[in-house]
């Protein structure tokens, strides 16, 4: 399998605390990398570095062999990053958020009502997102995963606020993405339950 993403000797310091040091790994196409660790261990910091949103103290990140800093704009075309925040426009409704992302992600072949139905949002299409529950807002946010062909997904706590049914549906989508040659880096405090063709675990130890 070809390597999509490589972390090489990454070190990260926040508030004079070394979160991780000399961290290296490869993420092949088809793999899910599940990053775990206690609160404050540095999981989100690592994801932001992998996504090119923050700098490491040392080391570098490569996408398909090239440093992501060599073409940040090019790299971002291959990446879907969903952080802690839902990242939705709260004044817009679910349908309008979908339209925005579909345009941004260059997706023209999708059935918005069908997708929202799949995500358990049927009947809620016209309500401004700020009126939705936390789990419903998370569902709207995750709709992006059904709208993109970008190969690399970096997802910070994607299962937060989701009920069991949606967790299962999301895991199916991750499996499908990997079977198509994509790869996923995610953080989660809970174990993954689907049967992934390639699943790697990385535990970040909390350092004082």
Ligand X SMILES: Nc1ncnc2c1ncn2[C@@H]1O[C@H](COP(=O)(O)OP(=O)(O)OP(=O)(O)O)[C@@H](O)[C@H]1O
Residue selected from 5, 29, 33, 45 as contacting ligand X according to rule CB under 6 A = 45
Given the rule CB under 6 A, which of 34-42, 66-74, 114-122, 125-133 is the region that contacts ligand X? 34-42
Closest distance of CB 206 from ligand X, Å: 8
Q: Note whether 52 binds ligand X by CB under 6 A.
A: no
Measured between alpha carbons, how far is residue 189 from residues 38, 150, 157, 192 in Å? 8, 25, 8, 9
Rounded to whole angstroms, the Cα distance separating 138 from 145 reads: 12
Q: Which letter does DSSP use for residue 128 in this model?
A: B
Q: Note whether 120 binds ligand X by CB under 6 A.
A: no
Query: Under rule CB under 6 A, how many of the chain's residues touch ligand X?
Result: 11
Q: Note whether 14 binds ligand X by CB under 6 A.
A: yes
Residue with tokens 């080391």: 59
- E-assigned strand segments in the chain: 3-14, 17-28, 32-37, 58-63, 66-67, 79-82, 152-156, 183-187, 199-204
Q: Note whether 83 binds ligand X by CB under 6 A.
A: no
Taking the CB of residue 57, how many other CB atoms lie within 10 A of it? 14
Q: Note whether 39 binds ligand X by CB under 6 A.
A: yes
Closest distance of CB 9 from ligand X, Å: 18
Q: Are 41 and 187 in contact (CB under 8 A)?
A: no
Q: Note whether 19 binds ligand X by CB under 6 A.
A: yes
Given the rule CB under 6 A, which of 14-22, 55-63, 126-134, 173-181 is the region that contacts ligand X? 14-22
C-alpha triplet 76, 77, 83: angle, nearest 5°: 50
Q: Note whether 40 binds ligand X by CB under 6 A.
A: yes
Which tokens go with 129?
């997102």
Nearer to ligand X, 18 or 103 (CB): 18
Residue selected from 30, 31, 32, 42 as contacting ligand X according to rule CB under 6 A = 42
Q: State the residues that interact with ligand X by CB under 6 A.
A: 14-15, 19, 37, 39-45
């Amino acid at each position: 399998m070809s390597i999509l993403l490589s972390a090489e000797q990454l070190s990260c310091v926040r508030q004079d605390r070394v979160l991780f040091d000399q961290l290296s790994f490869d993420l092949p196409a088809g793999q899910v990398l599940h990053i775990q660790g206690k609160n404050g261990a540095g999981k989100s910091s690592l994801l932001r570095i992998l996504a090119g949103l923050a700098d490491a103290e040392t080391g570098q990140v490569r996408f398909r062999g090239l440093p992501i800093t060599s073409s940040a704009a090019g790299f971002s075309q291959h990446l879907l990053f969903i952080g802690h925040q839902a990242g939705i426009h709260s004044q817009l409704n679910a349908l309008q958020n979908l339209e925005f992302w579909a345009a941004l992600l260059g997706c023209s072949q999708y059935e918005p009502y069908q997708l929202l139905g799949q995500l358990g949002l049927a009947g809620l299409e016209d309500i401004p997102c700020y009126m939705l529950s936390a789990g419903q807002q998370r569902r709207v946010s995750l709709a992006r995963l059904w709208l993109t062909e970008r190969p690399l997904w970096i997802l910070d706590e994607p299962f937060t606020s989701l009920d069991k049914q949606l967790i299962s549906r999301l895991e199916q989508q991750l499996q499908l993405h990997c079977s198509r040659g994509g790869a996923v880096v995610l953080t989660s405090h809970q174990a993954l339950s689907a049967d992934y063709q390639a699943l790697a675990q990385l535990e970040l130890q909390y350092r004082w």
